[in-house]
């Protein structure tokens, strides 16, 4: 009934970027997940510098950003071996 209340203080742009990261992670789109993470970090920094985020929201987004950074650490195609490579 009052679902709109829990959206107060949230930034739709940052929420959309995080949804994109979640989607990319669930589909194993490694490069796209890293690109979206970089975009999240950039936009969060810009919005913070512009003073467009309340303190509580900023802290929540920074916590989420740190969580994504930890999740995506080492999440890349660089170390992935092709299944046909018999030398591994």
Domain spans of the chain?
A: 11-72
Output the pLDDT for position 87. Answer: 53
Q: pTM for the full model?
A: 0.76
The tokens for 12 are: 């739709």
* Structure confidence by residue, pLDDT tens digits, 32-81: 999 999 999 999 999 999 999 999 999 999 999 999 999 998 776 555 55
3-31 mean pLDDT? 83
CB 57 within 8 A of CB 9: yes
**What stretches of 7-54 show up as alpha helix (H) in DSSP?**
12-26, 30-49
Output the pLDDT for position 4. Answer: 45
């Amino acid at each position: 009934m009052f679902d709109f209340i829990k959206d107060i203080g949230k930034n739709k742009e940052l929420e959309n970027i995080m949804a994109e990261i979640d989607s990319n992670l669930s589909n194993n789109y490694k490069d796209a997940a890293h690109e979206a993470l970089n975009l999240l970090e950039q936009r969060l920094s810009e919005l913070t510098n512009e003073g467009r985020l309340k303190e509580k929201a900023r802290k929540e987004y920074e916590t989420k950003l740190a969580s994504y950074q930890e999740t995506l650490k080492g999440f890349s195609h660089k170390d992935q071996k092709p299944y046909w490579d018999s030398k591994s």
